[in-house]
Amino acid sequence: MTTIVGVIGGGQLARMMIPAAVNLGIDLRVLAESEGMAAGLAAAGVGDYRDADTVLAFAETVDVITFDHEHVPQEILRALVNRGVRVHPGPDALLYAQDKLLMRQKLTDLGLPVPDWAAVSNSGELAAFLAEHDGRAVVKTPRGGYDGKGVRVVSGEHDVDDWFEALAGDDRGSALLVEELVDFRRELAQLVARRPSGEIVAWPLVETVQRGGVCAEVIAPAPGSAGRVADVAADIAMAVAEGIGVTGVLAVELFETTDERLLVNELAMRPHNSGHWSIDGSTTSQFEQHLRAVLDLPLGATGARELWSVMVNVLGGPAEGSMADRYPAAFDAHPTVKVHNYGKDPRPGRKIGHVTAGGDELETVVYEARATAAFFQD
Ligand code: ADP
């Protein structure tokens, strides 16, 4: 029997599930937001994921539902589950990827390390938090933020008055998340995958480099992280996956503080930018693993194939033409580097592809990856 996996959302994450599905003979169908999306080559249809009838009709054509993003409304997710549809990750888990306040509360309840935080509804409450934290903090909108949008460093109680005003008109919640401005050495990400029956595996801990709130580079494994840090990160991510009941791939974004603690920043319940290196650099890519997990199949080995893998995002793209126009020069100069093109039109700041280099010498691998990515953006 051929199993049909339905993916809601047609971005590059759905697109990169396609080769993994082809290799395993899994029929993958994508409900894309519009024509010409990155995963258009597997699109079963175009439709609005916020429309219950559209999503329920799509679900009838597949055996299991999974996601390219976390934005499908809770009431639609619950309607799917009530109809007996297999949904991975399920609504109870996805809730914590949809709402940063609920996520902070849940992680606190689970006893996991997070930055100091509070829910604030007005400038007076923000002032009180600032007074306790040396006058600086980070305020986040609980819902709808991505790539640093909805994150603001503040030093005055009126710095987010616009957000407080917007809250007044939003019936979904009436508070913002405020947290300490963490003094971190670097950002790390721990990727794990969990099956509905409970098996759970972890990839090597990676370092992520963000520029302007957007992931720019990933180094696998995180330099100098052998031993304790890696063990602590894996323990945290597994505790999150089990504590929240996540199925599929879970990315746990972490801060490594200057005093060598790990704090959880963000959760993503789907394949994640910090795991793109695994396509070329690990025995099992995060995309294949996600499919295995949502189908409750035994999970693949997660070891690295190379001592070092470095992934660099192609952000924005070439000023003229497409990524493919640059293939002759890039491939000629860097034959060992793997290039991934999401088929998206270049636009400032947009993630339109990535490259991954691997090898024994970290400096060389970083150079190879950066130099190759440079061919595709100017
Ligand atoms: P998004 O959901 O938009 O990715 P995040 O919560 O991951 O937002 O924050 C984006 C970036 O902002 C992080 O990668 C980090 O660099 C910075 N940041 C977020 N929270 C804090 C914090 N509490 N202290 C210091 N920097 C932070």
Q: Do residues 164 and 201 share a domain?
A: no
What are the φ/ψ torsions at residue 254 (nearest 5 degrees)?
-130, 150
CA distances from 48 to 16, 32, 240 (A): 21, 8, 30
275 Cα–ligand 1 center, Å: 18
Interatomic CA distance for residues 204 and 2, integer angstroms: 32
Task: State if pTM tops 0.85.
Answer: yes
Q: Do residues 42 and 123 share a domain?
A: no
87, 107, 125 - which closes a domain? 87
Contact (CB, 8 A) for 28 and 5: yes
187 lines ligand 1 (CB under 6 A): yes
Residue 26 has what pLDDT? 95
180, 205, 224 - which closes a domain? 180
Q: Do residues 234 and 347 share a domain?
A: yes
On whether residue 96 sits in a domain, the answer given is no
On whether residue 107 sits in a domain, the answer given is no
Pocket test of ligand 1: the residue of 71, 265, 272, 351 to mutate, having most ligand atoms within 8 Å of its CB, is: 265
Q: How many domains, the chain? A: 3
Q: Do residues 357 and 210 share a domain?
A: yes
Q: Nearest residue CA, atom 8 of ligand 1? A: 148
Q: Look up the CATH number of the domain holding residue 163.
A: 3.30.1490.20
Contact (CB, 8 A) for 292 and 272: no
Q: Nearest residue CA, atom 7 of ligand 1? A: 266
Q: Do residues 196 and 166 share a domain?
A: no
19 lines ligand 1 (CB under 6 A): no
Interatomic CA distance for residues 178 and 371, integer angstroms: 38
Which residues participate in the annotated binding site?
A: 100, 140, 179-182, 187, 265-266
Residue 225 has what pLDDT? 87
Contacts of 223 (CB under 8 A, 6+ apart): 207, 362
Contacts of 149 (CB under 8 A, 6+ apart): 213
153 Cα–ligand 1 center, Å: 9
Question: Token digits for 258?
Answer: 């200057």
Closest CA to 114 of 213, 310, 272, 255: 255
Residue 213 has what pLDDT? 85
Closest CA to 333 of 307, 355, 350, 351: 355
Alpha-helical segments (H) within the chain: 12-24, 52-59, 74-82, 91-98, 100-109, 123-132, 161-168, 228-244, 278-281, 286-294, 327-333, 362-374
Q: Do residues 176 and 220 share a domain?
A: no
What is the number of other CB atoms lying within 10 angstroms of the CB of residue 270?
26
Q: Nearest residue CA, atom 10 of ligand 1? A: 148
On whether residue 106 sits in a domain, the answer given is no
Atom index in ligand 1 nearest the CA of residue 147 equals 3
89 lines ligand 1 (CB under 6 A): no
148 Cα–ligand 1 center, Å: 6
Atom index in ligand 1 nearest the CA of residue 208 equals 14
What are the φ/ψ torsions at residue 98 (nearest 5 degrees)?
-95, -25
87 Cα–ligand 1 center, Å: 29
> Mean pLDDT per 10-residue run, the chain (378 residues)?
90 97 96 92 89 97 97 97 97 97 98 98 97 97 80 96 85 84 97 97 98 94 92 98 98 96 97 98 98 98 98 95 97 98 94 98 98 96
Residue 1 has what pLDDT? 59
Q: Do residues 192 and 170 share a domain?
A: no
Interatomic CA distance for residues 288 and 271, integer angstroms: 10
Atom index in ligand 1 nearest the CA of residue 146 equals 3
Interatomic CA distance for residues 289 and 80, integer angstroms: 23
Q: Do residues 274 and 241 share a domain?
A: yes
Range of the domain at 79: 4-87
Q: Do residues 196 and 323 share a domain?
A: yes
Which residues participate in the annotated binding site for ATP?
A: 100, 140, 179-182, 187, 265-266
Q: Nearest residue CA, atom 14 of ligand 1? A: 213
Alpha-helical segments (H) within 245-322: 278-281, 286-294
Q: Do residues 263 and 163 share a domain?
A: no
179 lines ligand 1 (CB under 6 A): yes
